[in-house]
Structure 1
């Protein structure tokens, strides 16, 4: 299936970033420069994509310095007003560059040394040495440690499904923040955004636990198939029913959610887009919706959405805006 112009542009941006990071990492292979040059010569838009990344990278130090000065600036004293006015345009430009860099490539700035990573919009599967398989969803990073006594996975961010190989002598534990989920021969999904998350059991049995404050008894819960619990600063929630086919729909390239708001739907879709969709109408964001999105054709879903809801999709470069 041929890719759309938008998909090609996003793919080339991603490849250009990969090449640039590889060449500036300090550990590039001797033939990397020649390979990158060959990639750039393949087509004019290859060359343009790489030049765009180079330009952003060159602007970044100036942008960082100007943004730092803006943040440190005191309230406008009479003697400082003229200086602040002169610095306003540079600070605004700095903020724009930082927004573009952080907006397009946030996954490159977080957990760059993780054992396994899936970039935004990417889904990969990893076979571990013990026979278990880990499926990483979009924007996910994790570390793996296997030894004679334990199999431990630290989910740094994102979402992953774990298909665990049975080994009664070595428990399999997934750590997300302070929450640990232990399983023996099972399938489950853990999602974690850096402060809160969820555990959904597809098959088998798992126990999730986290330490309680001041040495109190640990908070723990056992999940049965088709159950989910949430965790966060308040501890573990009680198990609740969940549809396994919905939880794991991303494995099939689908995003399915029922009885959510349009704002929640857009937030979920944005996990798979390097440039997020902006919903400009707060009232529209509260509209209840059911969604079934093909993750390879998100723009098609947005186009169809205009036929069912009172909204308009406006495209400005790589950005998309939804409003009445």
Structure 2
């Protein structure tokens, strides 16, 4: 017996399930790089058990994400056991039950292994504040959806849509954020991340320092009173702009349930209100739509806003069914 050669322990099924779950979680965070994809291919090829574990982990992840555990083709009638003689069916039924029990053990093990994100969302017109611990708080504006991940003790927030204020000035560790596939890091910072329909992603820094990651370029630090908009097209960089105290206060007026306008057109103001209310405001006169509006208005009072601007511009307001119409007087 050769005592100088150590015996290599065979990878257990539990180790494989854990590794498969880690791969699926990594793929959910961001698309795999070329080197990571090659590493995954080699890992799958090294042991035939790994492919099955990987498929099971992906299936479980998809169920947790979309709540479609049985799939769109599920038909209860197709899964009913046909009636038959008890003696003839008893033994196969016992085998089927044993297989189901084994499958449930795998599912329970995977649930315990996967690092599932916590989702937070608001409906239109709703605002919600959530403490995340470690001195970090997030406030979700209207119609916002985010996911919060705990990657080995490192917090990561994915902004799927809407607008979120992240307050981490007193946090002991940085907060990592992902929006539109871009990464940023906030260290002891208070900042806003926006992902609105038909608009580029935006970052507004109120306090502290936020670092933007850039492909093939050095990182870009943002200090307080700075905004950044994601450039569209091939550039895929960030366009920076300085923000005055007044500008930043107007941008954050939604925290107080207000919309702050400083010369925006009436059409732009109506577009802002559409984010907070399902009651449409219609401007009947194209020239009136170009009129500049200034003032502080409640986000939950579309009719009050319409009456206020109509009074300023000597216009009429009427309600037609579920919509509000602002029309110039002739």
Question: Structure 1 length normalisation: TM-score?
Answer: 0.59
Provide the residue aligned with 2:264 in structure 1: 260
Q: Considering only CA atoms, is the larger Rg found in Structure 1 or Structure 2?
A: 2
Whether the 8 Å CA contact 1:130–1:165 is kept in 2: the answer is: no
Corresponding residue to 2:129 among 100, 125, 128: 125
Provide the residue aligned with 2:18 in structure 1: none
Provide the residue aligned with 2:228 in structure 1: 229
C-alpha displacement of 1:239: 2.6
Q: Structure 1 residues 304, 166: CA separation in 2 closer, same or farther (over 3 Å shift)?
A: closer
Q: How do 1:204-283 and structure 2 match up within 5 A? A: 204-211=208-215, 216-217=216-217, 220-234=219-233, 235-242=237-244, 243-283=247-287
Provide the residue aligned with 1:153 in structure 2: 157
What are structure 1's unaligned runs of at least 5 residues? 1-24, 28-112
C-alpha displacement of 1:120: 0.3
Matched position secondary structure for 2:188: coil
Whether the 8 Å CA contact 2:211–2:222 is kept in 1: the answer is: yes
Rounded Cα–Cα distance in structure 2 between residues aligned with 1:26 and 1:247: 38
CA RMSD, Structure 1 to Structure 2 (Å): 2.5
Rounded Cα–Cα distance in structure 2 between residues aligned with 1:199 and 1:284: 32
Provide the residue aligned with 2:321 in structure 1: 317
Cα offsets for 1:43-77 (capped at 9, x unmatched): xxxxxxxxxxxxxxxxxxxxxxxxxxxxxxxxxxx
1:137 aligns with 2:141: yes
Provide the residue aligned with 2:174 in structure 1: 171
Rounded Cα–Cα distance in structure 1 between residues aligned with 2:250 and 2:180: 24
Question: Structure 2 length normalisation: TM-score?
Answer: 0.58
C-alpha displacement of 1:224: 1.8
Cα offsets for 1:208-243 (capped at 9, x unmatched): 2343xxxx436x532221221111414311232242
Rounded Cα–Cα distance in structure 1 between residues aligned with 2:132 and 2:171: 13
Whether the 8 Å CA contact 1:223–1:239 is kept in 2: the answer is: no
1:289 aligns with 2:293: yes
After the TM superposition, which segments of 4 or more aligned residues of structure 1 sit over 4 Å from their partners? 165-168
